[in-house]
Chains A and B, each alone.
Chain A
Amino acid sequence: MPKHDTPMLDELEKGPWPSFVSDLKRQAETHDECWDILGQMEMSYRDKITHWKHGGIVGVFGYGGGIVGRYSDMPKEFPGVEHFHTVRVAQPSGMYYSTKNLRDLMDLWGKYGSGMTNFHGSTGDLIFLGCRTEALEPLFWDLTHDLKQDLGGSGSNLRTPSCCLGESRCEWSCYDTQDICYALTMHYQDEVHRPAFPYKFKFKFSGCANDCVAAIARSDFAVIGTWKDDIQMDQAAVKEYMAGNYPSNAGAHADGDWGAFDIQKEVIDLCPTECMWMEGDELKIDNSECTRCMHCINVMPRALRPGKEKGATICIGAKAPILDGAQFATLVIPFAKVSKDNNYENIIDYIELIWDWWMEVGKNRERVGETIQRIGLPTFLSVMEVDPIPQHVREPRSNPYIFWKEEEVPGGWERDVDEFRRKHAA
């Protein structure tokens, strides 16, 4: 039986699409608190203001993250959502679940909470929505002991690292995204479970520039697969595409009528660096100008492949709009080897250079991208011990001054005053 009238929410059940309102009503048959979600939401729609409060001290013993406190500010009217905490459960690398694992997770969550979930949050975790304070510890115990799964990060912690499915299914992956994601999650357990910084910090790993985890838009430290040598090319397959014998984009857009495949229009003219052309019936690429954007490879996967000398580009400092406008991560390390042979030590070194600097100079609640913006990329590049390259330059300089460092000036700052006075007596 509905506990509250929800005329506005009921409107959202009328369309042809799936409705979260219908889902909530169905869930309310076994979890009464879901009526109060609906009731409180109807009130928010009417009053045009939220009735959720968030944050505070809730957590589980030994951890300083993974649980986000959430409360109703109308607990008398909606007692079911008086406490409605969010639990972040670390997702498996590449988000591979067995159906048994999913059933076990749902049984656990139905027992201790509302049963409402979010697969997955923008951090990457599987999210349980709606836990009472007193249910947190037992839920955590069963999750870690029976299911052998862990909470993810929240607050000023290192957030749960996430990755694309990489080499497990994708021929374009330039390194083993799942392996490094797991290895760094284990390496940084303390940082994931307890606050470590002035604000949040996220790693994300994509195997190529298609960037299926949107690392460049969502992570402070985006590791994006790339290659150093030439795109591998099969000229015979290029001809098959041109003859219409192979479907472009592996048939992904085949349900629309786009006409015959036109390599000039669909590949060459769309190359962002204009580094492709036809010579007779041969496709040519000036690989020294290619930015490894993946476009041509996506269109003609049987003819073109990433090169053989693989690794990753590291871009730093993406963030959501909360403080200062959204921004993408900035290219910092053009090419790094990503290999389990050295336990990712070179990647770890980069990460720790950033952390030491950001913890020192970053302001409270300032993402590292904002710190870089405030202090300047040239300073950050020297922190990262990389020499500037043209790709680090976004626009011609607008500041005419050059600030030399002491080691860049012959003789440094020290002057022999007596020697100087001999030539400049006054």
Chain B
Amino acid sequence: MNSLAVKTEGLTKVYKDFWKRKSVSALTNLNLEIKHGEIFGLLGPNGSGKTTTVKLLLGFLHPTRGKSWLLDEPSGHVKTKNKIGFLPEESYLYKFLTAEEILDFYGKLFNLSRKERQKRIDELIHIVGLHPYRKRLLSKYSKGMLRRIGLAQAIINDPELIILDEPTSGLDPLGRREIKELIRTLNQQGKTILLSSHLLSDVQSICNRIAILNNGVLQVTGKVNELLSRSDVTEFLVKNLSDSDLESVKEFIRGKNGEVISMHPHLSTLEELFVNIIQHRK
């Protein structure tokens, strides 16, 4: 059998209320296979079943039908969790601890030695950019800071598989870029990453493969560049050409029976502008 990082078979979840009457079909018959070393994006609008999928994978919820495996062990297997990192949708952390203390606590739950913990904590606090606030209580953290510490705790055990539920939510553009870079770095170290998001640009820029959910039903799954590429359209981005040069390029294309769909001065994105300004201030 081929080893897979994540596998689901007909995974279905129907939420029932206490009296088992009203029910919501949050996820219907999901079949997914994520290979080792992929960055997999789970996309979908609000309420499409992304978080439900993640909770089923981790064994917090019991499926109504179907099965799922993480690293070839059934969901909920305790030992496998040594090799898994998880960032929940919101940062549900113990607010009465400081950043250092909470990382130390989670490190202990992974049975890391004191030395290892010390080293990991220093590293991680730097990676997520919280070193000025490492002794501050989490109850005094801002939302984005909580998100960052959440991310740090998700990778404290140097996991093989990292499951991130909307990792960039609540982060400023700089933070988003940093997190995206972090995810890429982790992936280069050979880690498999499953992330859910509805921020399409984030997903597009980092994921190898995606699945799109709507109303709990899988709509499409595949490689990002395959899903997006159109073989009959080509995009140019050129610099330092005069207007007359551009006209002659247009002429040349028409001469080859091509069609120019659009041609306009390039706008840099607001994100680029924002990042430029903030980074220059530092």
A and B co-occur in one complex = no
Chain A contacts to B: CB under 8 angstroms:
none
Chain B contacts to A: CB under 8 angstroms:
none
